[in-house]
Structure 1
């Protein structure tokens, strides 16, 4: 069974944690949900971001999400790909050198990488977007450009694929980015 590393943390977006984790498990991957400084069985608090007509998203308390693997036990060679949740967690997770080292591994080995919304902040901090085409939550667009990436503003329901990299602006794009991530992973679903 192929394994996927799933990076999340306190106040990651609720849907961007729960839905991809469950969908990747549904198709048969063993998904290791991890957060720096936390162990298997501990929880993170999520936040629900909604688009209610304001200038930016609103934020409400989400669920507690139980991690099923310890961050300190991650061996990057064990994983076929990595998925990174958005929300507020990436703004502090990107300060962790081990997180950046892990992300760089997936780019250096050309393994599939998926990031949604603010999860792209971890990619910019890791220095892996230079020369790449990607999307993110629009407020993260300037970071992508400063880091040398080519930012594409697309509808929140869509995904952008550049080689092994799959990105989406926000949780409304789950169906699109997860479908594209599965393709990059070599998964074929026939109906």
Structure 2
């Protein structure tokens, strides 16, 4: 089984954080969820994004999520894959130089990376998607294209793999995204 790193943070999308975390554990993988500035056992706040017929998603407060590893203590070489959930966390996590270095390590080492919804904002900031086919929440299309990637519009329940990268537009794509990511692991 693989060892997977999840980089997460306050106001990550609840489902995009919890469902893959639990599903990968249930499959027998070793999963560490970390957040810059927080230690093992500390909590992050999550948010729930839903599609209720408005021009964009709605946002509600989600559950608290307990981190099971310390960001400052991880050794990226110990991990086989990286998962980057969406929500609002990627917009500020991409400003953290160590987060960017970690993403670049996985990309340069040709290790599997999965990212969903707004998670590809981290990939664009890390400069690792040029020439790739990438899906994300539709509002991320401009920055994906400015990063030199091809934005792929998919149904909300679909995912796409390009090399070692799996991306999807939102949490309804968990089954497709997780199936593709686990196949790479």
Mapped partners of 2:164, 2:155: distance in 1: 21
Is 1:68 the equivalent of 2:91? no
Q: Deviations over 1:9-56 (max 9, x none)?
A: 000000001000000001111100000000000000000000000000
Other structure's SS at 2:118 match: helix
1:57 paired residue number: 57
Cα distance in 2, alignment partners of residues 74 and 134 from structure 1: 27
1:113 aligns with 2:149: no
Q: CA deviation at 1:2?
A: 2.7
Q: 5 Å matches for 1:40-189?
A: 40-185=40-185
Aligned counterparts of 1:8 and 1:94: Cα–Cα separation in 2: 11
Q: Distance in 2 between the 1:123 and 1:149 partners?
A: 10
Query: Could you report, residue by residue, the CA deviation over 1:63-108 in whole angstroms, capped at 9, with x for unpaired residues?
Result: 0000000000111100000000100000000000000000000010
Unpaired runs of 5+ residues, structure 2, are: none
CA RMSD of aligned residues (A): 0.6
Q: Distance in 1 between matches of 2:168 and 2:179?
A: 11
Give 1:188's aligned residue: none
Which residue matches 1:29? 29
For 1:157 and 1:181, how far apart are their aligned partners in 2?
Answer: 15
Q: Secondary structure at the match of 1:32?
A: strand
- Taking the aligned partners of 1:126 and 1:5, their CA distance within structure 2 comes to 16
1:46 counterpart SS class:
strand
**Structure 1 residue ranges (4+ consecutive) displaced by more than 4 angstroms after TM superposition:** none
> 1:189 matched to which residue of 2?
none
- Distance of 1:100 and 1:140 partners within structure 2: 18
* C-alpha distance in structure 1 between counterparts of 2:97 and 2:71, whole Å: 13
TM-score computed with the length of structure 1 as normaliser: 0.96
Taking the aligned partners of 1:57 and 1:127, their CA distance within structure 2 comes to 27
Deviation at 1:152, TM superposition (A): 0.4
